[in-house]
Amino acid sequence: MKDFNPTQKFDKIEHNGLEVRNLNIHIGDVHILKDVNVTIPKNKITCIIGPSGCGKSTLLRTFNRIIDTTEGVKIDGDVLFGNYNIVKSHGSKLIELRRHIGLVPQRPCPLPMSIFDNIAYGCRIHGIRNKEKLNAIVEHYLRNIGLWDEVKERLHTPASRLSGGQQQRLCLARSLAVEPSVLLADESTSALDPISSKKVEQLFVDLKRDYTIVIVTHTLQQAQRIADNVIFMYLGEVIEQGTAQEVFNNPQKELTKRYLNGAFS
Ligand SMILES: Nc1ncnc2c1ncn2[C@@H]1O[C@H](COP(=O)(O)OP(=O)(O)O)[C@@H](O)[C@H]1O
Ligand SMILES: [Mg+2]
């Protein structure tokens, strides 16, 4: 990884991670997230764990407000991030905010275009047209995620021809190219084979120096390998949160202990 980003083009946001206060989410009449209070520390990997249906994705999807696309959703509370209150941002503020908080999709989903254009896409949308600059950006991010040597001879071929693992790394590069400060990933290795999965995992570990990372993990083992901080959820509530060391080695709540012992999986 390079020490500085020669392609830097957008202002970075001053922030200290995310602070979630009294967050409640209803979808229709159903109370999905119940008075959630959590802290997501800057430049660490925070893993959200818990059994299926407990609200992990809903919480993650609130952080860049992609949750707004869910019909009948009602959000109360605050999610503080730098000078923003994520819950209360609208219009151009919200568009700005979404650039700062990138979401890595669950399944690799390259855009139906070339490898090059997949990475240049977001930059073009944000007004960068200069060819040399785009070339530099594409190379920088492909190197960043360790894909450059694998694809440099075929940058202008369809991204859909890459393997699943390569596609997922490409999607990660696409998210990084618009220079977010926070990266959200929802089970983004669940569709990958074990080797590709480890590669993406290692990338997150390398990236935390420059990004605040929040990951919904589909396996406890993954959280145990990479988490600095852990949030354990159950039925829409945060049961326990703390450093990985605290939560995994010395859980305070009975429910956490039972989950860690495999009672719900
Ligand atoms: N669009 C929706 N409409 C109604 N209920 C939903 C919707 N999306 C999620 N839910 C419900 O919200 C709860 C939490 O879901 P989710 O956040 O996806 O859980 P997880 O990611 O932990 O598996 C579940 O009970 C789920 O059925
Ligand atoms: Mg989910």
Return the residue whose CA atom lies nearest to atom 24 of ligand 1: 53
Give me the pLDDT at residue 3, please: 42
Is the distance from CB of 177 to CB of 137 less than 8 angstroms?
yes
What tens digit of pLDDT does each residue of 97-113 get? 988 999 987 888 999 99
Distances (CA, A) of 250 to 246, 253, 257, 260: 5, 9, 9, 11
Give yes or no for residue 4 having a pLDDT over 50: no
* Exposed/middle/buried for residue 71 (C-beta within 10 Å: 0-12, 13-18, 19+): exposed
**Mean pLDDT for the stretch of residues 9-18:** 86
Predicted TM-score (pTM) of the model is 0.91
Give yes or no for residue 129 having a pLDDT over 50: yes
Ligand 1 atom nearest to CA at 48 = 22
Per the listing, tokens 């941002």 go with: 89
Ligand 1 contacts CB of residue 62 (under 6 A): no
Tokens (6 digits) for 168: 């997922």
What tens digit of pLDDT does each residue of 202-222 get? 999 999 999 999 999 978 999
What tens digit of pLDDT does each residue of 52-92 get? 999 999 999 999 999 999 999 999 999 999 999 999 999 98
Starting from the CA of residue 187, give the closest ligand.
2
Closest to 231 measured CA to CA, from 77, 20, 87, 76: 20
